[in-house]
Amino acid sequence: MKFGGTSVADIDRIRHVATLVKREVERGNKVAVVVSAMAGETNKLVAWTNDAARPDAAGLAALPDQREYDVVVAAGEQVTAGLLAITLNAMGIKARSWLGWQVPINTSAVHGSARIEGVPATDMQAAIENGEVAVVAGFQGVAPGTRISTLGRGGSDTSAVAVAAGISAARCDIYTDVDGVYTTDPRIVPKARRLEKIAFEEMLEMASLGAKVLQTRSVEIAMLHRVPTRVLSTFTPDVGGTLLCDEEDIVEKKPVTGIAYSRDEAKITLHKVPDKPGVASAIFGPLADAGVNVDMIVQNVSEDGKTTDLTFTCTRGELNRALAAIEAQSKAIGYRDVTHTADVAKVSIIGIGMRAHPGVAQTMFRTLSDKGINIQVISTSEIKVSVLIAEEYVELAVRALHSAYELDAA
Ligand code: ADP
Ligand code: ASP
Ligand code: MG
């Protein structure tokens, strides 16, 4: 069982979570629970690390040491793991807390966004077999050499699925503040519908294209290790829910299953780049070396046969690093100038049914054009189409597309 931040936001809610755990134990199940930090705690800790790294205004560019950043931001989960164990014990349920290094949840050394490499939870598994509930601090692990690591924002989902895989759990139930995965974010589209099931591949795209209900890596692990994973509501645990499943288990394949959006986008355009072999490599090589994940790319047709404009996107957090990498190579690339904006967002339609239905992308383009929304960049894969638009139109675009693909609830 995994409980997110809003589910453990205060002591009353932790008590409610404890009753859900108790219920599973009384049903005869052996349980490991993964908890997030209380709602808002991780944001507060992240902000403190930023403030500490900027003792004066001149230090604006300073970044905290990522290893110490992890020590700070992992603290939120330690608190909730302890509090839930205390609450369970007080209710007569045998329980103990397990921090990432105690389980252990072994990760890579990429602090701030470490990857789980293994969960050899022998002692914890023995304790569970012994009838004790294991309360695991989510989001954190241990990097080679015993330093504390964290898994990137939203990482407790990944902790939960990885622990489930590590102890060969029969189920992984992700409890959150919505009663399942919806056709789009129910907070911006009230007419969004809950999906009874969603294929792993679709959930992977939804998550990586911005639906924050599950962290992308958690879906990858669920798919790879075949962990039966469900998304449920902490507040109405007995209704609804969404099961992640194989594509074959979905009977009705609509062209579009869901719509995702991401505001964490930035766009960079290089003007008047020489139109000759090797130029893309001269641009994207340095970006890769700087650790920038380039997402969408367009290159315009050359008007004069000599120069062209090239546009690409990355996350907002990587914008400055990308600009620095480009400017450092300005001579080698040979562009006239660079423009950039963070005033963009990406909207994506996702569905395995897209493979069999022609004209799916066209419906997207027509719908956006009817609303007067300009498409700046397009990218597609077999089961998704993404467009980059001005950020101010995100909600309008998502709602219009939701209706156009007949996803609205009756
Ligand atoms: P938790 O703290 O439990 O991990 P999150 O806030 O990380 O919860 O994720 C749940 C939120 O994800 C929901 O409140 C909802 O606003 C958002 N969300 C975005 N897209 C979707 C979607 N397609 N289906 C359900 N929820 C979504
Ligand atoms: N507390 C962490 C975060 O806010 C991890 C999580 O909640 O999944 O990102
Ligand atoms: Mg989350």
Nearest ligand to the CA of 77 is: 2
Work out the average pLDDT over 73-97.
98
Answer whether residue 56 shows pLDDT above 70.
Answer: no
CA 212 to chain centre: 5
Residue 65 Cα to ligand 2 midpoint, Å, equals 20
Average pLDDT value over all residues in the chain? 95
Work out the average pLDDT over 382-409.
97
Residue 15 Cα to ligand 2 midpoint, Å, equals 20
Query: 3-state class of 36 per DSSP?
Result: coil
Work out the average pLDDT over 236-250.
95
Residue 300 Cα to ligand 3 midpoint, Å, equals 38
Pocket test for ligand 1, best of 7, 197, 213, 350 (most atoms within 8 A of CB): 213
Answer whether residue 79 shows pLDDT above 70.
Answer: yes
**Nearest Cα to 217, choosing from 283, 156, 294?**
156
Tens digits of residue pLDDT in 190-208 = 999 999 999 999 999 999 9
Tens digits of residue pLDDT in 322-350 = 999 999 999 999 999 999 999 999 999 99
The CATH label, of 3.40.1350.10, 1.10.150.20, 3.40.50.280, 3.30.2130.10, for the domain at 259-404 is 3.30.2130.10
What count of other Cβ atoms lies within 10 Å of the Cβ of residue 391? 16
Work out the average pLDDT over 287-295.
93
Q: What angle do CA 320, 323, 327 make, to 5 degrees?
A: 140
Query: What pLDDT score does 304 carry?
Result: 80
Query: What pLDDT score does 137 carry?
Result: 99
Beta-ladder partners of 32: 134
Work out the average pLDDT over 343-370.
96
Give me the residue spans of the domains in the chain.
2-177, 259-404
Whether the domain at 2-177 and the domain at 259-404 fall into the same CATH topology: no
Work out the average pLDDT over 269-298.
94
- Judge if the beta carbon of residue 6 lies within 6 A of ligand 1: yes
Pocket test for ligand 2, best of 113, 156, 159 (most atoms within 8 A of CB): 156
Q: In this predicted structure, which of 27-36, 86-95, 219-228, 297-306 has the lowest mean pLDDT? A: 297-306
Work out the average pLDDT over 104-123.
97
Tens digits of residue pLDDT in 181-190 = 999 999 999 9
Alpha helices in 290-410 (DSSP H): 319-328, 330-333, 360-370, 394-404
Tens digits of residue pLDDT in 114-127 = 999 999 999 999 99
What CATH class does 2-177 carry? alpha beta
Ligand 2, pocket residues at CB < 6 Å: 4-5, 36-37, 42, 76, 138-139, 153-157
The amino acid at 208: S
Q: What angle do CA 265, 316, 198 make, to 5 degrees?
A: 45
For residue 175, the ligand 1 atom closest to its alpha carbon is 3
What does 84-104 look like in DSSP terms, one character per residue? Answer: HHHHHHHTT--EEEE-TTTTT
Tokens (6 digits) for 376:
């700046």
Alpha helices in 130-253 (DSSP H): 156-166, 200-208, 216-224
Q: 211: phi > 0 → left, psi -120 to 50 → alpha, else beta; which?
A: beta
Work out the average pLDDT over 201-219.
97
Answer whether residue 63 shows pLDDT above 80.
Answer: no
